[in-house]
Structure formats: structure tokens, C-alpha cells
């Protein structure tokens, strides 16, 4: 009889450990899924920014430095996104926002560009993507937080360390980059 009780206890402990492991796997994949959602939006914005810069290039022949700054920042975001470097992505996003702010401020001097259907469509699309990225960033950071908290809790920490589960990085932007780019303000005469 004591052997049966011992085996039952052993089975309960085993099932408990399996449950913890499966929960950690689920949280890890939740972080990956949340990142994949951001990645899709970053790719879409990447393409739209190229179109926006090309439209602007036709009107803004003498503003090459502004357009080049946006393109360099766009490339920085792409590199960080492709490598999955969350810290670099936060910095690159800041540079991109600064470049876009400068671009939208410069557009004020080009009324034909501001009234171009193609430009207004692309600007609206980029604003939509910015909003979606901000929403998905919140979901991603929630998934990262849930993952990191669970990994640090006992007894999960023991299993997490033994099985190689690692804490994920939050996607954070510097304070000036946290506010949305106000396209309406940029395009009002």
C-alpha cells in the first residue's frame, strides 16, 4: 500500500511538472505569435514608406536629405526587424519617427504634394499602420510580461532554467517616440 501511495504521489508531481512545462511553452509561443503580428505590420509599413518617399521625391527635388534620413531610418527598422533585435528596433523606430516628423513638416512647403491623392492615401495608410503597431506592441509587451513573470515564479523558475526558457525583452520606445505622429496637424494649411 505505501508503494501505491508513493507512485501516486510521484505521478501527481510528474503531471504537475509537465503542466508547468507546457504552460511555459505556451507563454513562449504567445510571445513569438505577438512578435509575428508586429513583424507583419512593420513589413507593410516598410513597403508603404518606400512608396511615400517616391511620391515625395517627385515634388521635393531639393529635399533629398530629408528623404534620405527617412530611407536610412527605414533600413534601420528593417535590419532590426529581420534580426529580431528588440532593443535595436526601439532605437530605429525613434529615428524613423524623427525622420517622418521632419518629412511631414517639410511637406508643408509643397501644397501640390499635400493635395496629391496618392500622398494623402499613403499618409493615411502609414497612420493606420502606426496605430496598429502601437496596439500590437501593447499585446506583445503583455505577452512578454506574462512570460517573464511566470519564468521568475517558483517552482517555474527551476523548470525554466533546466529547460532553457529565457526572459523576453519588452518593446519600448524612448519618451519622444511614444507619441503618435499627428498627420492632420502636419497637413493643415
Task: Indicate if the pLDDT at residue 64 is higher than 90.
Answer: no
Alpha helix locations (H) across 60-85? 64-83
Where residue 168 falls (left for φ over 0; alpha for ψ -120 to 50; beta otherwise) is beta
Mean pLDDT of 162-166: 93
- Side-chain half-sphere CA neighbours of 150 within 13 A: 23
Task: Indicate if the pLDDT at residue 176 is higher than 80.
Answer: no
Mean pLDDT of 55-79: 85
Q: Where do the domains of the chain lie?
A: 2-187
pLDDT of residue 142: 96
Tens of pLDDT, residue by residue over 123-147, are: 899 999 999 999 999 999 999 999 9
Mean pLDDT of 74-88: 91
Angstrom distance (rounded) from CA 42 to CA 132: 10
| Phi then psi dihedrals of residue 157, to 5 deg | -60, -35
Angstrom distance (rounded) from CA 127 to CA 123: 6
Topology of the domain comprising 2-187 = de novo design (two linked rop proteins) (1.20.1440)
> With pLDDT > 90 as the criterion, what percentage of the chain qualifies?
56
Considering only the C-alpha atoms of the chain, give the largest distance between any 2 of them, rounded to a whole number of Å: 89
Least confident range from 104-118, 120-134, 165-179: namely 165-179
Q: What is the pTM of this model?
A: 0.77
Tens of pLDDT, residue by residue over 46-61, are: 999 989 988 888 877 7
Amino acid at each position: 500500500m505505501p508503494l501505491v501511495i508513493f507512485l501516486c504521489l510521484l505521478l501527481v508531481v510528474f503531471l504537475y511538472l509537465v503542466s508547468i512545462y507546457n504552460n511555459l511553452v505556451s507563454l513562449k509561443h504567445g510571445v513569438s505569435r505577438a512578435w509575428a503580428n508586429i513583424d507583419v505590420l512593420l513589413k507593410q509599413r516598410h513597403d508603404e514608406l518606400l512608396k511615400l518617399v517616391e511620391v515625395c521625391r517627385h515634388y521635393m527635388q531639393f529635399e533629398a536629405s530629408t528623404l534620405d534620413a527617412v530611407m536610412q531610418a527605414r533600413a534601420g527598422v528593417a535590419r532590426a526587424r529581420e534580426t529580431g533585435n528588440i532593443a535595436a528596433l526601439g532605437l530605429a523606430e525613434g529615428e524613423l519617427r524623427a525622420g517622418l516628423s521632419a518629412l511631414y513638416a517639410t511637406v508643408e512647403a509643397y501644397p501640390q504634394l499635400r493635395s496629391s491623392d496618392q500622398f494623402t492615401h499613403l499618409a493615411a495608410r502609414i497612420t493606420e499602420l502606426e496605430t496598429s503597431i502601437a496596439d500590437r506592441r501593447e499585446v506583445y509587451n503583455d505577452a512578454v510580461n506574462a512570460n517573464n513573470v511566470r519564468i521568475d515564479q517558483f517552482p517555474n523558475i527551476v523548470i525554466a532554467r533546466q529547460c532553457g526558457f529565457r526572459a523576453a525583452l519588452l518593446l519600448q520606445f524612448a519618451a519622444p517616440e511614444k507619441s503618435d505622429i499627428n498627420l492632420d496637424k502636419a497637413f493643415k494649411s
